[in-house]
Amino acid sequence: MKQDKIFEALASGPRRQILAYLSEQELPAGDIAARFAMSAPAVSRHLTVLVNAGLISSERRGQFVVYKLVPDNLVNTLTQFAFEICPVGAPLKRESRTAKKAAAKPRG
């Protein structure tokens, strides 16, 4: 399930930090790796997890791979999760439907 991949990706501190960096600007892999005290292959694995979860995308530009945030996937997943766990909207929808039906009934 896509949602599981996203939450798995978010479970890592370095991956959340990468998302924070990419929320400000697109970055080449080397610039991302330079911000961490870990090996380039370790950063590459984190980037792969984020790409596979659909949270970031990559594009080859010459000899560089540039990463950017895909904000809609994160927002949509978190919103869907919030409605599943805390379905505040369901009673409001039910109330709205009831009011709509009452307004549609002929009076008199």
* Cβ contacts of 63 within 8 Å, gap of 6 or more: none
pLDDT in the model for residue 105: 73
pLDDT given for residue 107 in this prediction: 66
* Residue 39 placed within a domain: yes
In a domain, residue 44? The reply is yes
Place of tokens 């995308």: 57
State which residues form the domain around 50: 2-103
Residues 58, 47 contacting (CB under 8 angstroms): yes
CB 71 within 8 A of CB 6: no
Is 47 inside any structural domain?
yes
Mind listing the pLDDT tens digit of every residue in the chain (108 residues)? 688 999 999 999 999 999 999 999 999 999 999 999 999 999 999 999 999 999 999 999 999 999 999 989 888 888 888 877 776 656 656 666 676 777 777 765
pLDDT for residue 41: 95
Residue appearing with tokens 């501190």: 13
Is there a domain that residue 8 lies in? yes
Q: Residue 16 domain-assigned?
A: yes
| Contact between residue 73 and residue 26 where contact means Cβ atoms under 8 Å apart | no
* CATH number, domain containing residue 59: 1.10.10.10
How many domains are contained in the chain?
1
Residue 86 falls within a domain, yes or no?
yes
Q: Are 40 and 33 in contact (CB under 8 A)?
A: yes
Q: What is the pLDDT of residue 91?
A: 61
> Is 82 part of any domain?
yes
How high is the pLDDT of residue 108? Answer: 59
Written as six digits, the tokens of 20 are 């924070």
Q: Is residue 108 part of a domain?
A: no
